[in-house]
Structures are given as C-alpha cells and as structure tokens.
Amino acid sequence: MSVYTPILSTLPLQHAQAGFNLIEIMISLLIFSSLSLALTQLQLNSLHASIQSYQEIYQHLQAQNAQELRWAQRCEFVSASSLLNDAERVISC
C-alpha cells in the first residue's frame, strides 16, 4: 500500500523573507529624505516670511513714532509762540 504524499511536500522549501531588501531600504530612505527636505524648505520659507513681516512692522512703528514726535514738536513750538492767537493755535495743532 502506497502512502500518498502531496507534490508540494517534495519540493524544496523556500525560506520566508526575514527582513528588508537593500533596494527597499534605499527607496524608503530616498522618500524620507525627500520629504524631510521639502518640510525643511517649507519651514525656512515660513521663517523668512515671519522675519520680513517683523521688519515691516518695526519700520512702520519707527515711521509712526517719528511722525508723532514731529507733530508733538510742532505743537510745542506753536503753543510756545506768543505771536499766534487762539484760533491759529487750534488750526495749526
């Protein structure tokens, strides 16, 4: 009496894949590094825009302070002048 043995059991067993191939690791590193560079570029662009915005705000505040200082000096000069009457002081200042 013969014992039935399936054909698959007579073929040599192939080992299951135990890890990653070198090409898989290289592709994943390429994808990761590309995404990291893109994220870094976005952060640098955001930082550049933030610095530029800060500089514009600072320049605006400096101009506004200079204008207010000139206005205060003008009003001080007009009010110190004894030659002007009250109506001219209100109009000038």
In a domain, 27, yes or no: no
pTM value?
A: 0.54
- In this structure, the number of other CB atoms found within 10 A of the CB of residue 78 comes to 15
Number of structural domains in the chain:
1
In a domain, 68, yes or no: yes
Rounded CA separation 93/80 (Å): 12
Contact 76, 68 (CB under 8 A): no
In a domain, 9, yes or no: no
Contact 79, 89 (CB under 8 A): yes
Contact 93, 78 (CB under 8 A): yes
In a domain, 88, yes or no: yes
In a domain, 66, yes or no: yes
Rounded CA separation 35/28 (Å): 11
Per residue in 16-61, pLDDT (tens digit) is 667 889 999 999 999 999 999 999 999 999 999 999 999 999 999 9
Range of the domain at 69: 49-93
In a domain, 33, yes or no: no
